[in-house]
A and B are shown apart, each in its own frame.
Chain A
Amino acid sequence: MAGLELLSDQGYRVDGRRAGELRKIQARMGVFAQADGSAYIEQGNTKALAVVYGPHEIRGSRARALPDRALVNCQYSSATFSTGERKRRPHGDRKSCEMGLQLRQTFEAAILTQLHPRSQIDIYVQVLQADGGTYAACVNAATLAVLDAGIPMRDFVCACSAGFVDNTALADLSHVEEAAGGPQLALALLPASGQIALLEMDARLHEDHLEQVLEAAARAARDVHTLLDRVVRQHVREASTLLGD
Chain B
Amino acid sequence: MARRHEAPRLPGLVQTRGGAQEKPIELPAVAAAAVAAGAAAAQADDARARGRGGAVGAGATRADDVRRAGRLGSMASVALSEAEKVYIVHGVQVATPRRQPPGFPWRCGWRRALASLGRRRPGGVLGLPDSLSFSVASPCSSANATPEFEGRGGDDLGTEIANTLYRIFNNKSSVDLKSLCISPREHCWILYVDVLLLECGGNLFDTICIAVKAALFNTRIPRVRVLEDEEGSKDIELSDDPYDCIRLSVENVPCIVTLCKIGYRHVVDATLQEEACSLASLLVSVTSTGVVTCMRKVGKGSLDPESIFEMMETGKRVGKVLHASLQSVLHKEESLGPKRQKVGFLG
Contacts and interface: CB of A to CB of B under 8 A. Distances in A.
Interface stretch (A103-111, A121-129, A164-172): A121-129
B199 A79 contact: no
A171 B120 CA distance: 35
Interface in B133-167: 137, 140, 142-144, 146-147, 150-151
Contacts of B76: 34
A12 interface: no
A77 B142 contact: yes
A173 to B, nearest CB: 13
Contacts of A84: 21, 23-26
Given A34-B110, A80-B137, A86 B192 contact: yes
Nearest to B22: A45
A206 B30 CA distance: 40
Contacts of A38: 144
Interface string B183-198: 0000000001010101
Contact of A32 (B21, B140, B194, B198): B198
Interface string A213-243: 0000000000000000000000000000000
A124 B21 CA distance: 23
B144 A51 contact: yes
A85 B119 CA distance: 10
Contacts, number: 103
Interface in B96-119: 110, 112, 114, 116, 118
Interface string A80-92: 1101111000111
A91 B149 CA distance: 12
Interface string B8-47: 0000000001001111111000101000000001000000
A31 B144 CA distance: 11
Contacts of A49: 144, 198, 345
A81 B26 contact: no
A35 B144 contact: yes
B83 interface: no
9 nearest A-B residue pairs (beta carbon) = A81-B116, A40-B345, A84-B25, A124-B143, A86-B118, A90-B140, A80-B194, A51-B144, A31-B345
Interface of B: 17, 20-26, 30, 32, 41, 76, 110, 112, 114, 116, 118, 120, 137, 140, 142-144, 146-147, 150-151, 192, 194, 196, 198-201, 344-346
